[in-house]
Amino acid sequence: MKLKQLSVFLENKPGRLRELCALLADSGINMITISLADTEQFGILRLIVSDCEAAKAVLEEKGFVAKITEVIAVEVNDEPGGLRNVLQVEEAAGISVEYMYAFTIKSGENAVLLFRFDDMDKAVDALQTAGFKVLDSVALFNRADD
């Protein structure tokens, strides 16, 4: 029930992000969502793409450092309290969030929250026990294509 995320090291230099997007587009790789955590000097780009391994290979060939990391995708109603409910469950299970980001899927009402927890397996269990809809990649890509 975990999802593959591609993380890319991005030095803060003009044109680096554009170069990366162009590389993926030229290779026919679709970006489902993208998030950038940055500092003054460098950033960490986190991507959910249609083909993680292919994207990694394309980027590495052009000198990027890329790594595949697992994240958890949770679908919640796009309404107040959606994130809080997830965090409550994880807090109760003693799990901490390393980072998270979110996107809304095309069809509208639902949001997908993407998480990296310190204990990924325990986090999935806790969420499923609490009745959350944890998406695998197939489900996520289907929802994104809706």
Partner 1 sequence: MSKFVVENRIWDKEESLPRSDLAALQSSKLRKTVEQVQEVPFYQKKFAEAGLAAEKIQTLDDLQRLPFTTKADLRGEYPLGMLAVGKKDVARYHGSSGTTGQPTMVAYTHNDLKMWSNLCARFLTGGGLLPAHSVQIAFGYGLFTGGFGLHYGVERVGASIIPAAAGNTPKQLMLMMDMQVDALVCTPSYALNISEFIIQNDIPRNALNLKYAHFGGEPWTEDMRTRIEDEMGILCFNNYGLSEVIGPGVSGECAARDGMHIAEDAFIVECINPDTLEPVAPGEEGELVFTSLSKEAMPIIRYRTRDIASLNPEPCACGRTHIRMSRVTGRSDDMLIIKGVNVYPSQVEQALLRVEGTAPHYQIEVDRPDRKDIVTVKVEMTEESFSSSMKEMQELKDRINRAIQTITGLRMNIELVSPNSLERFIGKAQRVIDHRKKV
Contact set with partner 1 (CB under 8 A): 5, 7, 9, 11, 16, 37, 39, 41-42, 44, 46, 63-67, 69, 98-99, 116
Q: How far is the CB of 37 from partner 1 (least distance, A)?
A: 5
In one-letter notation, the amino acid at residue 34 is I
Alpha-carbon distance 85 to 52, whole Å?
29
Q: State the number of CA atoms in the 13 A half-sphere of 52 facing the CB.
A: 20
Which contacts of 96-102 are long-range, i.e. CB under 8 A and separated by 24 or more positions? 99/37, 99/46, 101/33, 101/35, 101/46
**Closer to partner 1 at the Cβ: 57 or 77?**
57
**Closer to partner 1 at the Cβ: 35 or 110?**
35
**Closer to partner 1 at the Cβ: 26 or 41?**
41
Q: How far is the CB of 34 from partner 1 (least distance, A)?
A: 13
Q: How far is the CB of 90 from partner 1 (least distance, A)?
A: 16
Alpha-carbon distance 6 to 69, whole Å?
6
H-state helical runs in 1-146 = 16-26, 52-61, 82-92, 120-129, 137-145
Q: How far is the CB of 65 from partner 1 (least distance, A)?
A: 5
**Closer to partner 1 at the Cβ: 8 or 126?**
8
